[in-house]
Amino acid sequence: MHILLIKLNLLIPNAHSLKEKRRQIKSLKDRLSSRFNASIAEVDELDNWQKSVIGVCLLSNDKSYLDKQYSLIEAVVLEYSELELISADREWL
């Protein structure tokens, strides 16, 4: 069994309130959750209007599959025009 934890550091330049930030983050979380069947949560920068840290957790018996999923998740986040990806870190558990 392989567990992949992805930490996405995001910048939300157009957010001018927590409400706007949460709308953008919810949209991204819903998109990733439905497309990749992943567990997703905002884990840091909760009160910062223009920054967010998202944790994504994937579980599989095939490590190469998780590597491909990591690349696809990163591509989806990069395509999301409302957010800027500062960094994407992965950790195997």
User: In the chain, where are the structural domains located?
Assistant: 2-92
Q: How confident is the model at residue 24 (pLDDT cuts 50, 70, 90)?
A: very high
**Whole-prediction pTM:** 0.87
Nearest to 54 by CA among 79, 82, 22, 17: 22
- pLDDT of 27-68, one tens digit each? 999 999 999 989 999 999 888 889 999 999 999 999 999 999
CB atoms within 10 A of CB 9: 16
Which superfamily does CATH assign the domain made up of 2-92 to? TT1725-like (3.30.70.1120)
Specify the pLDDT at position 86.
95
